[in-house]
Amino acid sequence: MVQDPASRADFAFCFTDFLAAYAAWHHWRPRAMYLHTNAGEAAVRDARAGLSGRWTERLLRIPGLAVVAADADAAADRVAVEAVRAAGGIALAFDVFALQDVGGYRRGRHEFVSYRLGEGGAAGHDFFMAARGSGVVEAWAERLRRRPGGEGASSPSELILREGSARTAGAAAQGVRLMDADEFVSDKRDGSVTGRLLETARGGYWRGGRERNYPLERRGAPRAVLMQLDRPHEEKWTGERWEFLTPRHLLGRRSVFARAMYPVVRELVDAGVVDADEDEIR
């Protein structure tokens, strides 16, 4: 969602935004991806023509990605909830990076899949998935309509999870599934996680082999399905210096996050979409 729907500058994305969207496509191969935005038609048209930067243009060229007009006054979380309520599927924020397929969660026939906000916390809203007609999403959408800016509205409360799950017709649904901190690794509520994900190996870039399927257990996050970095487009302290998470940085594979994202970035380089020496995030 942008502040000025008519502004070309507001409808602009950086490398990490593009990477988050492409990683989801790379691992999940969805039939369609939808970018919901309140940006005006002219701003979107200019972006497709490359006038809003190369990363915006490349993001809009991801296979199957379509731009969907959203209510100019709606909050981003409400837009996501209404989209999943109407069609089913997965909602994903631009600071969440897919590391592997989530097909196992779909096949588990769970009523609603999300993650916990810290140990023992409530469900989060930066990633969630549900089928069309999910009682949880219906209950959540109703709460957002009643209290669009109210406290507790942006994430589904325990009450919403219980009541919503009970609404779902039939016995097929297997309840709510909330990923734990090892499956959904996030630094939003635990700053110590940032260091674990981004601290780099000393002694320069590791120039080992070009493994296609770099195993998760060698990435320092053996059970991770998704990783979330707070404000990934900003400079990050890597234990040695401040760095942006550019293609060149990630190809070095010196941190847990860089090694996790390496297969995706390598594919982009080999396809000629990204330059291996690219060191600009915007």
DSSP assignment of 11-78: S---HHHHHHHHHHHHHH--S-EEEEE---HHHHHHHHTTTT-HHHHHHHTSTTEEEEE--TTS-HHH
Cα angle 141, 144, 147 (rounded to 5 degrees) comes to 150
Quickly state the pLDDT bin for 6 (edges 50, 70, 90). confident
Q: pLDDT per residue over 53-94, tens digit each?
A: 999 999 999 999 999 999 877 788 889 999 999 999 999 999
Give me the percent of the chain exceeding a pLDDT of 70. 88
Residue 118 in this model has a pLDDT that exceeds 80:
no
Give pLDDT, residue 75: 83
> Under a CB-based contact definition with an 8 Å cutoff, are residues 9 and 52 in contact?
yes
Q: For the chain, how big is the Rg over CA atoms in Å?
A: 19
Could you tell me the end-to-end alpha-carbon distance of the chain, in angstroms, rounded to an integer? 18
Q: pLDDT per residue over 32-60, tens digit each?
A: 999 999 999 999 999 999 999 999 999 99
Whole-number Å distance between alpha carbons of 281 and 265: 13
170 versus 64: which is more confidently predicted? 64
Q: Backbone dihedral region of 170: left (phi > 0), alpha (psi from -120 to 50 degrees) or beta?
A: left
Q: What is the mean pLDDT of the chain?
A: 87
Q: Which residues of 245-259 are buried (b: 16+ CB within 10 A; e: fewer)?
A: bbbbbbbbbbbbbbb
Q: Backbone dihedral region of 249: left (phi > 0), alpha (psi from -120 to 50 degrees) or beta?
A: alpha
CA nearest neighbour of 270 among 210, 208, 204: 210
> Under a CB-based contact definition with an 8 Å cutoff, are residues 5 and 48 in contact?
no
Give pLDDT, residue 76: 85
Cα separations in angstroms, 140 against 77, 82, 155, 179: 11, 9, 8, 19
Whole-number Å distance between alpha carbons of 60 and 35: 9
Whole-number Å distance between alpha carbons of 53 and 50: 6
Contacts 24+ apart (CB under 8 A), 237-245: 237/194, 237/195, 237/198, 238/198, 238/199, 238/200, 239/195, 239/198, 239/199, 239/200, 239/202, 240/200, 240/202, 244/279, 244/280, 244/281, 245/15, 245/16, 245/281
Whole-number Å distance between alpha carbons of 55 and 215: 28
Q: pLDDT per residue over 208-245, tens digit each?
A: 444 444 444 445 677 899 999 999 999 999 998 999 99
> Which structure tokens are listed for 50?
């490359």
Give pLDDT, residue 144: 87
